[in-house]
Amino acid sequence: MASEVESEALDSIDTSESKNTRGRSALLTWEHTRPPGSNEPVRNKKARLLFYCKHCTESYAAQSTSNFRNRLALKHGITVEPETSHTKEAIRDQLKDLYLKASSQNETEELDSEVLRAVLNKEVIDEALVTLIVVRNLPFRMVEWPEFHVLLQSINPEVDGHVTIAHSAVSKKIHNSWLSQKDIVRKRLQSALTSIHLSVDIWTSPNNHLLLAICGHFIDSQEKLTNALLGLRTVASHSGDEQWNTLLPVLKDYGITRKLGAVISDNHTANDKLCRTISDWLLQEEGIEWNPVHQRIRCQGHILNLAVQAFLFENLISLDDIESYEEGKELDPKEEKEKSDSFRKLGALGKLHNITVHTRSSAGRMREFESLAGRRIPLDNRTRWNSWYFMLSVAIQKESALDTYTKRNLDTLEKDYLSPKDWEALRTIKSFLQIFHQATLKCQGHEATLENVLFTMDVIIKHLDKSQVSLSPLFIS
């Protein structure tokens, strides 16, 4: 297939070029192409040969080498410069001489405008605009900024009219781009060689919306391990029923209800309910037996996080108290004292937590600490993996700044003052937590193989047994 298509591509190059130049130019482009898949056409409706990009995770095809090279430059940062023949170089030199002659007589304005308009490709511009706004999380109204259009017109004066000036149009362009990419994902899912395994998790957005993230994992028709975000939809609550009400329309939309494999999620009981609901629905609606226990895979990162919490805080502090404080909010003095007293039960680790919260409890305190340390200390969090390790790592680096800040605010932080013995304890705890951080990295993404999971679990169990006696005195204030 590849040699046949390549032969057709070579024959399709402009015949005005020499035979040798055609071969060199085509080969430079073909280094970045692949043969069409079993469900992909060789030619478009106008019988023009299609070039498929081997670097794109989704299926992308262009009908001309110039558009294909534009795609390589825009999406992958790859520049392909086709070689020019001696004849073309001679023509170019003569045209340059003619242009200089016309320029000296002020007769090139209309020609310049035509050239500048010719290089504008509205499809490429729209795609670049959508990518910029989505990836960089920019406001849709940026297309109404005069400064934005001044920048574009300083690059190409003829761009006026090629870029929308209405923010409402941006939403439509993003939606259309999403639909086109979604159709590609749907085709790849339906032609997958394996079941579609899902990882699901609920995330709270900055504007406090609950969003259910749904990712698919499968081997595609090219025998390549593939991951795809299938949905990021609002969900009413964390309950298993509500998650299923959000998940089912996504499965139907992609046409993969009968191809469902395992479901990966954290240890929350709501996810047990989700899997039981999936099992009941598949049996009733599709006649498929789907075991909610065997098909339920628990997230290794979440297991490690729970292990850390149980080891550090068992019988010392309620897990409900281990949560982030709202940044930038002035805490009620009574509430601040109660929480500080609660965390102080953790010994040196609790004292560090209280100091970190203190540095973030008002704008003035944040500025004071940042002037000493040059940055903030990451705040621990119940659900964010390795947050206690990150807090300790930065705090130990900024020990001098923390000590100075505590002394300056001794009237409110006297009980949380960290002595040399406390700092020694914090360094020991950081060393203890480091292996959990490494284990999390070892078992994320494509690294989460059965071999790695079993190996890290074995290492963690031995690490816990070894550390239990030596670390227990460190959590007593």
DSSP string, 45-81: TT--B-EEESS-SS--EESSHHHHHHHHHHHH-----
CA distances, 55 to each of 33, 35, 78, 258, 381 (Å):
8, 12, 10, 30, 38
> Where is average pLDDT lowest: 11-25, 79-93, 219-233, 390-404?
11-25
Backbone angles phi, psi at 348, to 5 degrees: -60, -40
In this structure, the answer to whether residues 14 and 160 fall within a common structural domain is: no
Q: Is residue 94 part of a domain?
A: no
Q: Is residue 97 part of a domain?
A: no
How does residue 15 score in pLDDT terms, banded at 50, 70 and 90? Answer: very low
The residue type of 316 is: L
More confident residue, 41 or 63: 41
Question: Each residue of 147-163: pLDDT tens digit?
Answer: 999 999 998 888 888 89
Q: Is residue 187 part of a domain?
A: no
pLDDT of residue 332: 64
Q: Is residue 186 part of a domain?
A: no
In this structure, the answer to whether residues 30 and 145 fall within a common structural domain is: no
Mean pLDDT taken over the chain:
82
Q: What percent of the chain has pLDDT over 90?
A: 36
In this structure, the answer to whether residues 61 and 148 fall within a common structural domain is: no
How does residue 96 score in pLDDT terms, banded at 50, 70 and 90? Answer: confident
How does residue 468 score in pLDDT terms, banded at 50, 70 and 90? Answer: low
Q: Is the pLDDT of residue 93 over 70?
A: yes
CA distances, 154 to each of 138, 147, 160 (Å):
21, 10, 11
Average pLDDT value for residue range 335-349: 79
More confident residue, 381 or 73: 73
Question: Each residue of 357-376: pLDDT tens digit?
Answer: 889 888 899 999 999 999 99
> Reduced to 3 states, what is the DSSP secondary structure of residue 302?
helix
Q: Is residue 231 part of a domain?
A: yes
> Where is average pLDDT lowest: 43-52, 309-318, 372-381?
309-318
pLDDT of residue 24: 44
In this structure, the answer to whether residues 458 and 312 fall within a common structural domain is: yes
In this structure, the answer to whether residues 162 and 125 fall within a common structural domain is: yes
The domain in which residue 323 lies consists of: 303-475
Q: Is the pLDDT of residue 10 over 50?
A: no
In this structure, the answer to whether residues 146 and 75 fall within a common structural domain is: no
CA distances, 425 to each of 121, 317, 447, 471, 474 (Å):
62, 18, 32, 9, 6
How does residue 32 score in pLDDT terms, banded at 50, 70 and 90? Answer: confident
pLDDT of residue 328: 41
The three-point CA angle 439-445-448 to 5° equals 55
Q: Is residue 344 part of a domain?
A: yes
How far apart, in whole angstroms, are the C-alpha atoms of residue 353 and residue 426? 11
Q: Is residue 92 part of a domain?
A: no
In this structure, the answer to whether residues 348 and 455 fall within a common structural domain is: yes
Last residue of a domain, one of 298, 324, 342: 298
Last residue of a domain, one of 123, 145, 175: 175
How does residue 13 score in pLDDT terms, banded at 50, 70 and 90? Answer: very low
pLDDT of residue 333: 67
How does residue 327 score in pLDDT terms, banded at 50, 70 and 90? Answer: very low
How far apart, in whole angstroms, are the C-alpha atoms of residue 277 and residue 421? 53
The two structure tokens encoding residue 130: 């959508």
Q: Which residue has the tokens 């070892």?
A: 442
How far apart, in whole angstroms, are the C-alpha atoms of residue 475 and residue 424? 13
Q: Is the pLDDT of residue 439 over 90?
A: no
pLDDT of residue 58: 80
In this structure, the answer to whether residues 321 and 465 fall within a common structural domain is: yes
CATH number at residue 280: 3.30.420
In this structure, the answer to whether residues 374 and 459 fall within a common structural domain is: yes
How does residue 322 score in pLDDT terms, banded at 50, 70 and 90? Answer: low
Average pLDDT value for residue range 281-286: 95
Question: Each residue of 397-409: pLDDT tens digit?
Answer: 999 999 999 999 9
**Domain total in the chain:** 4
In this structure, the answer to whether residues 450 and 335 fall within a common structural domain is: yes
In this structure, the answer to whether residues 398 and 468 fall within a common structural domain is: yes
How does residue 288 score in pLDDT terms, banded at 50, 70 and 90? Answer: very high
How far apart, in whole angstroms, are the C-alpha atoms of residue 158 and residue 115? 9
Q: Which of 276-285, 292-301, 352-361, 458-467 has the highest mean pLDDT?
A: 276-285
Q: What percent of the chain has pLDDT over 70?
A: 82
Q: Is residue 215 part of a domain?
A: yes
Question: Each residue of 103-126: pLDDT tens digit?
Answer: 666 666 776 777 778 888 888 899
In this structure, the answer to whether residues 164 and 269 fall within a common structural domain is: no
- Report the half-sphere exposure of 121 (CA within 13 A, side-chain side): 11
Backbone angles phi, psi at 229, to 5 degrees: -80, 115
Beta strand pairing status for 61-62 and 196-204? Answer: unpaired
Q: Is the pLDDT of residue 453 over 90?
A: no
Q: Is the pLDDT of residue 459 over 50?
A: yes
The residue type of 279 is: S
Last residue of a domain, one of 266, 298, 330: 298
Q: Which residue has the tokens 């909610």?
A: 292
Question: Each residue of 205-235: pLDDT tens digit?
Answer: 777 889 999 999 999 988 988 999 999 999 9
